[in-house]
Amino acid sequence: MNIIIIEDEKPAARRLSRMLKELNIEVHTMLHSVSESISWFHKNEHPDLIFLDIQLSDGLSFEIFDTITVKSAIIFTTAYDEYALKAFKLNSIDYLLKPIDDEELETAINKYKQQLPSAPQLQVDFEDIKKLLINPIDRTYKKRFTARVGQHLKIFSVEDIECFYSENKGTYLHTNENRNYLIDTTLESLEEELNPQQFYRVSRKFYVNINAIKDIISYTNSRLQIKLHHFSEQEIIVSRERVKDFKDWLE
């Protein structure tokens, strides 16, 4: 099965690729923009299946098909809300809502396989889909977080937050003023709330702000240790499995 991923956020594309690999499906091509995708389609045989993000760095992914005739089945990966999902349902196109769930991914793949080889080529009317994208969610991220301090709520700009971390089943933020505050969320929820260009989840316990990194040190077992400007309560270790993605994120 020939599969490609079109996704502008490289960490998200790599994560999806790893999830597919766990299903014994290899992804050999990942594209990250409308222009890159158009160029690739002109030069290569069309894949069997495309995992397609809607909003790419240089426009809507639908723009790819303004110049390219679709010859592949499509599974959308999207952060759009329920209004947009009507478009996929009406056009019989499968979709996965971000953050992608392992079981939902496997179900989508099985659904695609069950359609083969007798399933007709999908006839996609992208103009109709565009019309149904009512109030789409822009790629915006939280700019502020709040924490309860006594009877008061304290507001923190993301620029003033060095890291988020979990401890004793709680989630905390650490500020540039070297203070910790308990917040009412989970690290998993932060995945959709933090700008991936600014924050990276280096381990199960930590999200770090790229602007807060003071030093990066080689650590045992091919891992990395991160030193922040102020946070020193715990060691921040980049797990071996995340080192490559972390280095890519830094670039």
Note the pLDDT tens digit of each residue in 210-251. 999 999 999 998 999 999 999 998 999 998 888 888 988 887
Query: Do 26 and 77 belong together in one domain?
Result: yes
Residue 206: Cβ within 10 Å count: 23
Largest CA distance in the chain: 64
- Domain range holding 115? 3-132
Give the phi and the psi of residue 219 in degrees, each rounded to 5: -130, 175
**Residue ending a domain, choose from 77, 99, 132:** 132
Residues 6+ apart with CB under 8 A from 220: none
150 and 125 co-located in one domain: no
Residue 214's H or E segment, with its range, is strand 213-219
Q: Is residue 120 part of a domain?
A: yes
Q: Which of residues 214 and 196 earns the better pLDDT score?
A: 214
Cα–Cα distance for residue pair 163/210, rounded to 1 Å: 9
In a domain, 44, yes or no: yes
- Specify whether 8 is located in the same domain as 125: yes
Who has greater pLDDT, 229 or 103?
A: 229
Verify that 125 and 7 share a domain, yes or no.
yes
CATH of the domain at 221: 2.40.50.1020
Q: Is residue 138 part of a domain?
A: no
Instruction: Return the pLDDT at 64.
Output: 87
Domain assignment present for 137? no
Q: Are residues 48 and 163 in the same domain?
A: no
135-155 tens-digit pLDDT: 444 457 889 999 999 999 999
Q: Are residues 73 and 109 in the same domain?
A: yes
| pLDDT for res 137 | 46
Q: How many domains does the chain have?
A: 2
pLDDT for residue 102 is more than 80: yes
Q: Is there a single domain that holds both residue 165 and residue 74?
A: no
Integer angstrom CA distances of residue 103 from 20, 72, 140 = 11, 23, 27
Last residue of a domain, one of 132, 160, 182: 132
Q: pTM of the entire structure? A: 0.52
Mind listing the pLDDT tens digit for each residue in 35-86?
Answer: 999 999 999 999 989 999 888 888 888 888 888 887 788 888 877 655 455 5
Least confident window among 97-101, 109-113, 175-179: 97-101
Number of Cβ within 10 Å of residue 216's Cβ equals: 14
Residue 128 — φ and ψ, nearest 5°?
-65, -40
H or E element that contains 247: helix 243-250
